Chains A and B, each alone.
Chain A
Amino acid sequence: MKNIVEVRSLTKTYEGGFEALKSVDLDIKQGEIIALLGPNGAGKTTIISSICGITRATSGTINIGGHDNVTAFRAARNLVGLVPQEINLEPFEKVINTVRFSRGLFGKAPNDAYLETVLKSLSLWDKKDAKVMTLSGGMKRRVLIAKALAHEPRVLFLDEPTAGVDVELRKDMWNVVAQLKEDGVTIILTTHYIEEAEAIADRIGVIASGEILLVEDKADLMARMGQKTLKVDLAEPISSIPKGLSGYDLTIEGEGLLYSYDTKTDRTGITSLLADLQKAGLKMTDLQTRQSSLEEIFVSLVADKEGAA
């Protein structure tokens, strides 16, 4: 698949000397949803700000749809829509006017019919004549999204779009995101909610301390990194692990036993464990396997990184 955004050797050192990005390379494929995960201060927002032109990169290049974002900034920025993390809106303006403003700023001719579909998809249409300051926090966030979509961008950045947002809006928002993806829009989002990335992203990037630790297909990442556990339910509870089973990584949990194994290795040890369980005279009533979540993967990655630093 073609890359729509290419970031090469991007570094950013702020005036105070803080090194927010250390030589970041990132390819974003056309039409995908990529989630950037990372702890606070990892550099997620700095990457987005650099791509969108809000901060100047200290060095490195950024290419959007084949246009350099400095030398051909008009063509590059035309493709990009940004939903910022903070709720930055003019309080005294009507919703419809702020959205019209966004569209005009990107050089697009007025098109109220299009704006109507955008506002309707975000359940904002009946608020179009309301002043921004009269809206609730969740509604304001919808206005930010509507503004970002007003000029029909091909690449949409969502910087923590669901921070402080209720369940309903989150659902609405992911519906909009799904629709955009269907229309071929590339979506880059940062989030703290790992289950969200797990639910909607095609690829996951993990950032810590200004470096990209990895960017991988979500399924591959989870398969590669995945610790699996096997839960064995026993007919009769046991109080200690029988001697014959001491070679396995087993813990007693309630009525049963938990066995952790690594799906990456050639031999998971499941077959021999089951055989040995039988030898030990334990009766099994059920077996369940469970894969570790992205959150666990994420935490272990960042912990490794911080431990090494």
Chain B
Amino acid sequence: MSDSSFQQKDRQSRFELTTLLETSRMLVESQDMEFVLNNLLLITMGKLMVSRAMVLIHHPANDTYEISKAKGKDCPNEGEHLTIKFGEKVRDKSVIRCGIDEIDLPNILPGDDHCTLFNLQTSNNHIGFLCLGTKGNKQPLSKHEIEFIESLSIISSVAIANSRMFTELRRINRMLDRKVYELNTLFDLSKDFNIMVDRQEIIRIFKFAMLGQMLIRKFFFVLEQDGKQRLVTTSGIQKEPSSDEIDTLFNLEEDLVEVDGELADQIPFLKENDIRAVIGLHFQNEKMALVGVGARANGEAYSSSDYNFLRSLGNLALLSIQKTYLLEERIEKERMEEELNIAKNIQKGLLPDPIPQHEKLDIAATNISSYQVGGDYFDILETPAKKLLFAIGDVTGKGMPAALLMANLQSMLHVLLPIDISLAEASNQVNDIIYQNTPSDKFITFFWGIIDPDELTFRYVNAGHNPPLWFKADEESPEELQEGGLILGAMPTMTPYEEQQIKLSPDDLLVFYTDGVTEAMNESATEEFGEERLLKCIQEHRQQTAKAIEQAIIKEVRSFSNGQQSDDITLMVIKANR
């Protein structure tokens, strides 16, 4: 070998080394596949003076080779997939020279049966091939040239693997970013919904969040309210579903239904609006709503993670909507309670306060409601003739209806007071009015009487009320004041009410009460307080003042029922002064 040719070779190999070094630095730093492949082809083609070259990338999933990059005339199109069965043997080789090696391969480059394939591989992965056409001078590749391209192929393979890994990392990173964003959306909306009380607002925000997060254009939301399923919001929907279609959708068994041809035929609404999936939403284990979504505008299919997000967001919205109903119920309840409190005060005002007193009588009376408002009534009024009228009554039932009727009775009494008619006549009229004005299941047990304090006479009518007790001054057992007639409001006055008159003596005692006293139950609800206990209690305190007797009875009843009161208690005690 001459000096000059040695120098020539030396220069050449130094040039090749420099090329390899620079290329390797450039390629390893690059994370761009496009750049790597471009360089691989350009360097190879320039160096070997090859006019056609391409890079085939292996797709293991279907064992095809994609023309990833091609340069030169009449190359197959980039992006095209070739199905060439190379087999393991070929893939193990680093270089395949078509037409020279004993391997039968179809022409990969059209019209070229002498192309050379360089295996692009990393230590554990076959990536594909670098495919070179015949050299311009038709010469086969020299050993030297092959070695050079082999080296270049190894460097490029590493760079390709790097860029793939980088791409994959970027993809995963992006996916994680999306997940984080989805979680943020759920988190933010759960805060936002929490302070919203307007259902329409929640529904609107829910819709926009769905559309924005998933790039959805077609959307509908069906909500069950008061047992009825209604379409509450839509976006991009042309024609609303019929109630039959909503019904069918609601009765779908699966919570996630991807719309297929069969279902689309069954429910034309889905077909007309190109709805892709229907998701059922639950509140307290009950299906209360559903959302339907059309295709994603970016053409991507819904992944199971997307569906999970849609469902989570949907359930969050549903929960928030249900919460507004509960809130409304609570506000309504508070309003009712407020009204009841007002009613209670009005009713209190209907009872005499303070209790009228008279020099010849010792009078005590009290009324304790079990409910906010009640049906018990008592009154003590002075008649135009300066006598005292005592009344006590009990309307069947409790609460508002009883209270209304009680107020009605009170006003009748006050209107009748100045009119000069007998108690019996007045009772007839009151009964007729109550009978006409109230439903047939509403009655009033009623007792009223007029005491003439000077004469100490007591005229009374008992309309079905617990008989008041008359303890005569010198007798142990009381008499019951029964006479009168039927309970008020049960039927029209056919038999007139009868009046009875008794003559009181000083120290006589009258006790009027409602059944709240005698029917008070003990704590275990097995026994009533009863008339006997009442009697005994009165007898024990017989010598005390009216107020003391009243309080003794109340105390006894309370301790018997251990503070549990289920009915109104009304008590009136009158003692003729000595």
A, B bound: no
Residues of A within 8 A of B (CB): none
Residues of B within 8 A of A (CB): none
